[in-house]
Amino acid sequence: MAILVVGGTGFIGGHLSRELVNELNAKDKLVLYDLYPNVEAVRDIKDKVVIEKGDILDMRKLFEVFKKYDISRVVDLVVFMRGSESDLFKATMTNLIGFQNLFEVSRLFDIERLVWASSDAVYGTPLGNEGPVDEEYLQNPDTVYGMCKMYEEFFAERYFRNYGIRNIAIRPSMVFGPLRYYRPVYFNVDIFENPPKGLPVPIGEKELNKEIDWVYVKDVSRAFKLALENRTIDFRVYNLGGEMKSVKDILAIVKKHVPSTEIIATPEASGMPPKSFEINWSKIQKELGYVPKYGLEAGVKDYIDSLNALEGAKVHS
Ligand SMILES: NC(=O)c1ccc[n+]([C@@H]2O[C@H](COP(=O)([O-])OP(=O)(O)OC[C@H]3O[C@@H](n4cnc5c(N)ncnc54)[C@H](O)[C@@H]3O)[C@@H](O)[C@H]2O)c1
């Protein structure tokens, strides 16, 4: 029996693999399937995992991998986001057809559990101002990415209803943390990683007070692990948020650990998301027993400590 993490050497995938690997039975395997395998993301556990290079669009390869390793549980973290507004064909192929491939192979192999990443992008601009957005809020995606996630959720529910594929979707808000090798769309790496490298943080002055719902990557990977281990839930979609904080507040926390943190306010925008909103994530707490281990303050500290521990990184004080 084995667990398959598709997109397993990406940002969340690397952290989740670390969470999972230490708890596997000796005879079980953790297989990371990725089109662009990034060994750096799993360097410390690379001898304990199997990496298979492959495309989620390659049904034959997926079949081979499911069969070869006797896959019983699956996590899907594949995404094509950056460029999805301009390359609609690739967005559809990767996010929708690829997703469907994985569900279909999972159905044919009668897997026990599938856990996959949706996103708070399904809310787009939330309709209504009644406070934190919970799972019942009407979805109003305003990006190709958000629309793909909305379709995926619909499709995943049908795969459960029609074929009994037991699957759980998690909608994280803005995830932050170390070992993000693919440059994200937004400015959510430099505000944490520039100060320890002794670099200033240039940030659009209008963005400093922007509030964003931040969730630490190690908390996110714990939530995915809990979902994967759950044996009772058939189909569910969960919000996964953290804390609403302005960019300025985040930089104040960073400064506690790196006193030399220097902010340069620039007239131009530096690339924060155009909007953000508070997420209600009580359902995942109640139903999966998710409790964040880090949260924001400890997450920022852990992030900076991890950077410091990485080769070549040095915290400037
Ligand atoms: N990071 C966030 O802030 C955030 C927030 C909400 C939701 N999510 C969702 O979580 C999931 C993981 O996000 P991430 O930040 O780890 O992304 P990531 O880009 O770091 O990881 C995605 C992985 O998928 C792989 N991949 C891409 N195309 C592939 C293909 N065709 N076949 C096989 N592998 C392919 C990439 O090589 C990469 O390793 C995504 O579904 C994303 O939409 C992320």
Domain boundaries, the chain: 2-173+217-240, 175-213+243-272+293-308
Residue-averaged pLDDT of the chain: 91
DSSP 310: S
The per-residue pLDDT for 155 is 97
Q: What SS3 state is found at 249?
A: helix
Which of 92-106, 177-191, 241-255 has the lowest average pLDDT?
177-191
- Which residue's C-alpha comes closest to atom 2 of ligand 1? 175
**CA 224 – ligand 1 centroid, Å:** 14
Provide the CATH topology of domain 175-213+243-272+293-308: UDP-galactose 4-epimerase; domain 1 (3.90.25)
Q: How confident is the model at residue 309 (pLDDT cuts 50, 70, 90)?
A: confident
Instruction: Print burial letters for 66-98: b (CB count within 10 Å at least 16), e (below 16).
Output: beebebbbbbbbbbbbeebeeeeeebbbbbeeb
Between CA 302 and CA 187 the distance in angstroms is: 19
Nearest ligand 1 atom, CA 181: 20
The per-residue pLDDT for 282 is 98
What's at 23, amino acid-wise? E
**CA 264 – ligand 1 centroid, Å:** 31
76 phi, psi to nearest 5 deg: -115, 120
Global pTM reads 0.95
DSSP 208: T
Which of 4, 5, 6, 12, when mutated, tests ligand 1's pocket best, judged by the most ligand atoms within 8 Å of its CB? Answer: 12
Q: How confident is the model at residue 264 (pLDDT cuts 50, 70, 90)?
A: confident
Q: Write the pLDDT tens digit of every residue in 200-223.
A: 988 888 888 888 999 999 999 999
Cβ(212)–Cβ(244) under 8 Å? yes
Q: How confident is the model at residue 313 (pLDDT cuts 50, 70, 90)?
A: very low
The per-residue pLDDT for 315 is 42
For 140-155, what is the mean pLDDT? 96
Task: Please enumerate in sequence order all residues whose Cβ is within 8 A of that of 234, keeping only pairs 6 or more positions apart, or say none.
Answer: 160, 164, 166
Q: Is the pLDDT of residue 298 over 60?
A: yes
CATH 3.40.50.720 fits 2-173+217-240, yes or no: yes
Please tell me the number of Cα atoms within 13 Å of 292 on its side-chain side: 20
For 58-85, what is the mean pLDDT? 96
